[in-house]
Structure 1
Amino acid sequence: MNATDLRELDGRVVLVTSAVDQRNPPTGLRGTVRVVEADDAGRPIVQVELEFPQMFTTRARHRTVTLGAEELQQLFDSDHDGAPTVVTLREPLDPETPAGE
């Protein structure tokens, strides 16, 4: 993956799932990929923005997750007709929600 490849991801819509989700079927959210300014090493930082809607007992909120090398590789490996489509996080989609909800 080079910097040009990463910048082409900006604005893409992807399915975001969690490796710790034990539900059947598993939960997924739509996320938007954002590529921001380079880090100290000159590499662009790739993030996924998630929106959580207001529900009966929770407020609407926003979460930004910075993707690591493993998640980036997985994103590129999920390529469907030239567009990466899926990323799986190693953490809950919404850390504010108690397990099992």
Structure 2
Amino acid sequence: MIKAIKLIAIVSMSVVAVACSVDESSIEENSAAPVLEDVVKLQPCSSEWFSIVEDKIMTDDGHGHGPDLGSSEWRSVIEFRLGIRGRTELPARNSAQWCDYIDKNYIK
């Protein structure tokens, strides 16, 4: 019985010793560092950005018919769906500033 208790104590101490000997700096580096490759910033006016906007603000008629992504007609429909068509503060539809405006005020 005493041998069994000593064996359990030795095994327990071994487990504690092994657990305490783990290099904590490697754990912190691996778990705390963000994976930058997974973070992709979409640029406004890119084809990927147009797809994200389309997913959030649908322009089709529900039957697969709608303007081409990024076209002037598509941008006009986006403005209509957002209720902002005709506002004087809107940048020109064919500009990168228009995409920035939509991105900052309605997408992000």
- TM over 0.5, yes or no? no
TM-score by structure 1 length? Answer: 0.26
Structure with greater helix percent: 2
Structure label with greater radius of gyration: 2
TM-score by structure 2 length? Answer: 0.25
- More relative contact order, 1 or 2 (CA 8 Å, 6+ apart): 1
